[in-house]
Amino acid sequence: MSLYVNNSIMSSSESLPPPLQLCYENVNGSCVKSPYSHGPRVLLYMVFGFGVVLAVFGNLLVIISVLHFKQLHSPTNFLIASLACADFLVGVTVMPFSMVRSVESCWYFGEQFCTFHTCCDVAFCYSSLFHLCFISIDRYIAVTDPLVYPTKFTVSVSGMCISISWILPVVYSGAVFYTGVNDDGMEGLVSALNCVGGCQVVINQAWFLINLLLFFIPTLVMIVLYSKIFLVARKQAQKVEAIASKSESSSESFKARVAKRERKAAKTLGVTVVAFLISWLPFMIDSFFDSILGSMTPGYIYEILAWVGYYNSSLNPLIYAVFYPWFRRAIKLTITGKVLKDSSSTINLFSKGI
């Protein structure tokens, strides 16, 4: 909000109030700056900077691993690589600039880039959500019908899911923010918030409800599918135990191994989905109540909730590193430069037990 400082004549016995700091000292209508002291400022840059580095390099390692090693060329892994690409772009185009805005309490990158930054923020975060929704569908088919799954969820089907996960969020975000329909009917609030050095985007109630639907419909789909997945997984585990206690045929043994592998993959990707929901639900719920009640969350709370969401883009590579031995080996091969060898793409990343 634009604030103007009026100088008044004060008696010598009165103490002068501390001068307001502005984002742009010699510009009329500059936003007021609320700087942190040196210690908290350095700490915040370290915390946010670590998230940026992890989002960029962690997801880059996921992308390189899936695309380089032929053994990882599967429909599910292509979806994972595309999800990592969305998180990578959050780390490149969104988080660094949000870090400066959060710490400095000013936007120094211009009005046009503010719009671009907002579009990227919304588009890539929704793209991550759509990817996770399609991954949950993929896992549901794989767990409920593992032997038929390869013929149902092919590379071409995966490619179609990836295309939808990119095209819809990017087109939607661009159409909303570059046409200005997001703040129709809220000109008074836009004028009140408008100041040089700010990047506060206003969304009217109609478009905010659409945003909520775009978030909660895929979320509901994921919750329902993963609930069914874990019910089926429990029944399959019981059957595997029953088979193991008897003299099993080779075909039954093969079915059991396939089912076990798909359950393990579903468990890992289920953790990824839960991490996304835990990261973004607080922000969406807070935004929902702000919209319904017509209130505004204090700036520092908004920044905390937003950064909890941003940090989700840094979490996925850590989840893969914990649950996927093949990813740990792929990281080792990439960091040591062995991926540069001609034969590296055919290296076996899986242990005998997988």
For the segment 87-93, the average pLDDT, to the nearest whole number, is 96
Domain extent listing, the chain: 37-241+250-337
The proportion of the chain whose per-residue pLDDT surpasses 90, expressed as a percent, equals 34
Crossing angle for the helix pair 299-310 and 95-104, nearest 10 degrees?
A: 160
The pLDDT tens digits for 238-281 are 666 665 555 555 555 555 555 555 566 567 777 888 888 888 88
Whether the pLDDT of residue 189 is over 70: the answer is no
Question: Can you give the pLDDT at residue 245?
Answer: 56
Q: Of the given ranges (38-47, 167-176, 278-287), which has the lowest mean pLDDT?
A: 278-287
Question: Can you give the pLDDT at residue 133?
Answer: 92
Mean per-residue pLDDT of the chain = 82
CB 128, CB 86: distance < 8 Å: yes
Question: What are the φ/ψ torsions at residue 21 (nearest 5 degrees)?
Answer: -95, 135
Whether the pLDDT of residue 119 is over 90: the answer is yes
CB 123, CB 178: distance < 8 Å: no
The pLDDT tens digits for 138-170 are 988 888 888 888 888 999 999 999 999 999 999
Whether the pLDDT of residue 89 is over 80: the answer is yes
Whether the pLDDT of residue 42 is over 90: the answer is yes
Q: Of the given ranges (30-34, 162-166, 266-270, 322-326), which has the lowest mean pLDDT?
A: 266-270
Whether the pLDDT of residue 30 is over 80: the answer is yes
- Long-range contacts, 156-164 (Cβ 8 Å, 24+): 157/75, 158/75, 158/76, 158/78, 158/79, 159/78, 161/79, 161/131, 161/134, 161/137, 162/78, 162/79, 162/82, 162/131, 162/134, 164/130, 164/134
Question: Can you give the pLDDT at residue 116?
Answer: 94
Question: Can you give the pLDDT at residue 192?
Answer: 65
- Cβ contacts of residue 164 below 8 Å, gap of 6+? 130, 134
pLDDT class of 353 with cuts at 50, 70, 90? very low
For the segment 57-84, the average pLDDT, to the nearest whole number, is 93
pLDDT class of 44 with cuts at 50, 70, 90? very high
Q: Look at the block and give the residue holding tokens 């700056």.
A: 33
Q: Which two tokens stand for residue 185?
A: 């009917």
The pLDDT tens digits for 275-309 are 888 888 888 888 777 767 666 777 778 888 989 99
Question: Can you give the pLDDT at residue 254?
Answer: 53
Q: Which two tokens stand for residue 55?
A: 């989002």
Range 37-241+250-337 classified under CATH 1.20.1070.10: yes
The proportion of the chain whose per-residue pLDDT surpasses 70, expressed as a percent, equals 81
Among residues 269, 266, 110, 290, which one has the least CA distance to residue 189?
290
For the segment 224-233, the average pLDDT, to the nearest whole number, is 83
Whether the pLDDT of residue 171 is over 90: the answer is yes
Whether the pLDDT of residue 88 is over 90: the answer is yes
Among residues 179, 172, 180, 182, which one has the least CA distance to residue 205?
182
Among residues 143, 210, 198, which one has the least CA distance to residue 173?
210
d(C-alpha 298, C-alpha 22), whole Å: 19
